[in-house]
Amino acid sequence: MMFQMLQANSDEVKISEIYLHAGLKFLKGAYLLECLTIPITRPRNALVAFRSYIDAANLFKYCAGTNEKNGKTEVTALAYKCMEVAYLRVAFALQHVCSSSQSTLYKGDTGMSWNFEPKNNNASHLKQLLMISVHVTAAMDTSMRSHCALEHAIKHHSCTDGHETGS
C-alpha cells in the first residue's frame, strides 16, 4: 500500500532513492546480524542474514535499473556497487558456514552413520559451494556493470565540463 501511494505521487527516480536508502539499511542490518550469528554458528539466524543480503541486493538492483533507464549514471554505479557488496557478503558468509560444516564432517563424529550421513553432508557441502559460486559470479557481473556505469558517468561529466569551459 505504501509503495502504491509513493508510485502514484512520485516519479521512479524518487522511489528508487527510497529503495537505495532501504537497501543500505538492509545491508547494515544483515552485516550486524551476520556478526552476531556466524562466529557462533547459529544456522537459522545465519539464513536470516543471508536472506537480508539478498533482499538488499534486490533493492539495489531495482534502484540501478531505474536510474540507468533514467540516465542517472552516478546513482546507477553506486547501486551496482552496493549490489556487488551484498552478493560478496553472501558468498563470504556461505564460505564460512561451508568450511565449518566441512570441518565437522571430517572430525568423524562417532554418532554418525557412515553409510548415509556423509553422503548427505557431502551433497549439502557441494550445494553450498555451488551457491558460493553463484553469488560470486553475480557479484562479478554486477562489478562489471558498476564499472561501465562509472565510466559512462565520468565520460559524460568530462564532456559536459569541456563544453561549459569553452563557452
Q: Is residue 166 assigned to a domain? A: no
Q: Is residue 163 assigned to a domain? A: no
How confident is residue 114, by pLDDT bands cut at 50, 70 and 90? Answer: very low
Task: Compute, in degrees rounded to 10, the torsion defined by CA atoms 34, 39, 44, 45.
Answer: -30
Q: Is residue 52 assigned to a domain? A: yes
Total number of domains in the chain: 1
DSSP per-residue string spanning 55-109: HHHHHHHHHHHHHHHTT-HHHHHHHHHHHHHHHHHHHHHHHHHHHHHHHHHHTT-
- pTM comes to 0.71
**CA nearest 62: which of 41, 76, 42, 50?**
76
Query: Domain residues for 136?
Result: 2-106+117-158
Q: Is residue 112 assigned to a domain? A: no
Rounded mean pLDDT of the chain?
A: 78
Q: Is residue 73 assigned to a domain? A: yes
| Per-residue pLDDT at 162 exceeds 60 | no
Q: Is residue 111 assigned to a domain? A: no
pLDDT digits (tens, 9 = 90+) for 90-104: 888 777 767 665 555
Q: Is residue 39 assigned to a domain? A: yes
